[in-house]
Structure 1
């Protein structure tokens, strides 16, 4: 007797959830749960009104959102313990057995991005991962440490800061590359990062594409579309081109790394669907952030003096760049239903 499809889907999800030993996160503010609290940078979310809906004491934690991010939601959905920020000096030694979050808000694949923002570069995050491996094997032993890493889920999400700040806003990389060339440059760094983790035992990866950069409130405000509040077409086209290339590269990389599984996470198409049809998904505002005017406020500009919208869950964005927790829940549901199964 076969199971009805909804029950079969639930069974597969539960089976998948129990098959990961740990979670590891590399990237930018879409994943950073607090690493930037422990470095000297202005790119941090450890002040009000960030965390206004955080489930523990409605407090700011360094997360660039009103509450939880994908690492929180995904790790919970996989029946694992939340991976703490690696730089937290109070990180209990036994917590490293659950995996760790190395992400840093304001960073990117491009080393220049992190140098400009004084955040943890991708190469720096990978160096911390190698340091972590030493601690893990010291705690758990060589064989158990290898088992944890080989059975873990590795999530990469970055690139947005590279394109927004280094190419569009500051224009530094646009002097050296056309957009297609810069995309190839970023993809090369990402491919090397995945190979590095693979060489240290990682086997299962989720790699996120870029978000719909041209529809971020900050980017709309900085464009000629500021008054009409419409997305910036050429930036959306650039994003789609970047993601299309990445989607083709990942299967090629997987084929070259025996035993690996690499799944692509589509951010743009899913979030664009919500932005273009907000009421269909229960949102009232998709082109402004909830913090302040919603036009430019992000990081230090989104602060205790900034008024906050009455109903955060009705806004796609919390500040002028970062989504509200509701969007991260949509993304996590998509990961569990459509991306995780690809890793088996």
Structure 2
């Protein structure tokens, strides 16, 4: 009978196949743990997404709070001033967009109705050989879709999502306030279990992540503002309705790298096509292409490239993965999360000599790290 003692079992697990089996089992355990964590995060997506967005916004707004603190403003007053200024700006933009939609919506509906009539006439009299019965069947199919149970359940889900958005917005304002005011204390609380050497490394990672995240958001906002201004001015010159709301959509879409501004510009071209005709829509498409080339070849590399330090392929893969996992929110958050993760990896392997440590401790002595929110990432 073969020897099955402890020595034989040690040999079984210490040979090549045994080591592979051990590593495979360890990998499976880690993957199972990651899957459990991801599942838990998806169940708490309202809290997770709210905290992530609040952290990103706090990293961008923190220099304003720091500037006020340097000029001897109390911490609470500086935080409230920056927060209310941001909310006031957002509210003003929403009011302007809503007013523009209200003033021009009737005209756009009339023009859209005329455009649909022209499209129907082209389909009937053009070279496509489409009959009136086919058009009637298509209309009936559209009506059935809008009145179907699936569409109505989708509308109910949309209403539920709207309630979640409002709740997340209120929670996000509260989280943002505390991150701006007590970011340093929150980060110190989170790293309490670590020893001093690891605490110092965690502080350096937090400071570097804050810097990268803030520069990314501010740089993206600059690029988005340029896109929105150029396209918005072009729409106004061409007389396209809803120029301000469309420019706002372009601004928001630019926060989704690579594809956001293009999709928003395409939507503007569709509105131009319905309202003003194919020639105006073609001009809008040319303007959108020119703006995207300007952004991709000049603005983004100069303004955002240094902040990210990511290859375009890495950005594309992060964007794709984020979209698959979490839809639009994933597309918005994937790139900044990837940038912060890469900054943390680089800082983790950076030499922790005295000069490096002093370079990161200096902001603490000036007071900036005291309010740093993204150290709590």
TM-score (norm: length of structure 1): 0.29
- Bigger relative contact order, structure 1 or 2 (CA pairs below 8 A, ≥6 apart): 2
Taking structure 2 as the reference length, what is the TM-score of the superposition? 0.27
Structure (1 or 2) with the greater strand fraction = 1
